[in-house]
A and B are shown apart, each in its own frame.
Chain A
Amino acid sequence: DAGITQSPRYKITETGRQVTLMCHQTWSHSYMFWYRQDLGHGLRLIYYSAAADITDKGEVPDGYVVSRSKTENFPLTLESATRSQTSVYFCASSDAASGRYSYEQYFGPGTRLTVT
């Protein structure tokens, strides 16, 4: 049972390049989320999705694009990477009926992205 996975785990890219971070979950959870984590800011929501083909902005969506053509995948694309997008990115999933307690979010292991 793989759960929720992210790839790559580490990525170094140059300013201006396009980068795609992948997220895959095996539970068929309806909700998926992308967060970025920076020192002093905690976890900030970038985008989320309530189901395939339904996405919505979070707190810090600028510079990011998402898509969700299949329930299990939720890729995050940085169209033109900037140094300010250097961060740790976490993907999460949840479902109203998941876990022992409703609305629990399951986080992936994270992707550490460095933009030079």
Chain B
Amino acid sequence: QQPVQSPQAVILREGEDAVINCSSSKALYSVHWYRQKHGEAPVFLMILLKGGEQKGHEKISASFNEKKQQSSLYLTASQLSYSGTYFCGSSSGGYQKVTFGTGTKLQVIP
């Protein structure tokens, strides 16, 4: 089952903050975050592992609540370059096989 992301879409002004949530009905080993710009391939942002957090980006951080099977992605002081669709992915039987959510479309405007 795909993880559920919220919101589905959000519009921000430059400099504003945003939070994207991801929840799963299964127990999680890890949560993966990717960003995809229009017409391009998804690009890795970070992975959070069970029992520890692993950050992969300067102004983008994330949390992983293992008990609630939830993760949140925090975008601080958003820039125009943050625009794109953000996907969370979850793995429950090892770290490599990832099931992705349906995505959150983020648009940052001047």
Contacts and interface: CB of A to CB of B under 8 A. Distances in A.
A100 B47 contact: no
A48 interface: yes
A58 B46 CA distance: 22
Contact of A110 (B32, B41, B89): B41
In this complex, which of A40, A103, A109 has the most chain B Cβ atoms within 10 angstroms of its Cβ?
A103
A107 B41 contact: yes
B41 A90 contact: yes
A110 B40 CA distance: 8
B84 interface: no
B96 A48 contact: yes
B88 to A, nearest CB: 9
Contacts of A104: 44, 47
A105 B41 contact: no
Interface residues of A, number: 28
Contacts of A107: 41-43
Interface string B76-110: 00000000000101000001111111110000000
Contacts of B41: 90, 107-110
B30 interface: yes
Given A101-B56, A103-B30, A103-B96, A43 B42 contact: yes
B64 to A, nearest CB: 14
B87 A42 contact: yes
Interface of A: 31, 35, 40-45, 48, 50, 56, 58-59, 90, 94, 96, 99-110
Interface of B: 2, 30, 32, 34, 40-44, 46-47, 54, 56, 87, 89, 95-103
Given A50-B96, A101-B54, A104-B44, 19 more contacts: A35-B100, A42-B87, A43-B87, A44-B100, A45-B98, A48-B96, A48-B97, A90-B42, A99-B44, A100-B56, A101-B44, A101-B47, A103-B32, A103-B47, A103-B96, A106-B44, A107-B42, A109-B41, A110-B41
